[in-house]
């Protein structure tokens, strides 16, 4: 029994629009293609107003005065001041943390510098060995 044949690659059919532009179709087109043409703009109708009739002005009553909502204004001001204080508190806390971190970094770098540039115990900053010459004479002879 022969193994099944491998499927052959499908070659897409090349179709052309009326102006000669090729396109590739995987299925036959159900109808001949037509070029897209944008819709033409509609003509703007011209409006000719008729004669204008002026009506007499009507009396519009003024709105009644409303009570001042002072509790709402106080509450809004208190919320605003409280949130501003909270924001300033967060700002100062962040600033304190940043300066603490910067101070610790400078201190660590200073300790590293001192450990690198000093040779333990000498008071002259690690200049190395010092030549010493001592002459001892006995005067009691």
List, for residues 78-122, the tens digit of each pLDDT value: 888 888 889 999 999 999 999 999 999 999 999 999 998 876 655
Q: Which residues of 45-80 are buried (b: 16+ CB within 10 A; e: fewer)?
A: eeeeeeeeeeeeeeeeeeeeeeeeeeeeeeeeeeee
Which of 65 and 9 is assigned the larger pLDDT?
65
Domain boundaries, the chain: 83-118
- Residue 9, pLDDT above cutoff 60: no
- Provide the whole-model pTM: 0.33
**Token duo for residue 79:** 């919320």
CA angle 56, 62, 68 (to 5 degrees): 165
């Amino acid at each position: 029994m022969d193994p099944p044949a491998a499927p052959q690659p499908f070659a897409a059919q090349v179709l052309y629009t009326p102006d000669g532009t090729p396109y590739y179709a995987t299925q036959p087109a159900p109808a001949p293609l037509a070029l897209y043409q944008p819709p033409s703009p509609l003509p703007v109708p011209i409006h000719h107003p008729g004669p204008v009739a002026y009506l007499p002005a009507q009396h519009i009553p003024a709105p009644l005065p409303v009570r001042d909502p002072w509790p709402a204004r106080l509450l809004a001001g208190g919320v605003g001041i409280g949130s501003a204080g909270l924001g300033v508190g967060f700002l100062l806390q962040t600033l304190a943390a940043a300066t603490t971190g910067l101070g610790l970094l400078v201190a660590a770098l200073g300790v590293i510098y001192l450990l690198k540039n000093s040779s333990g115990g000498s008071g002259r900053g690690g200049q190395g060995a010092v030549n010493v010459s001592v002459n001892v004479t006995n005067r009691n002879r």
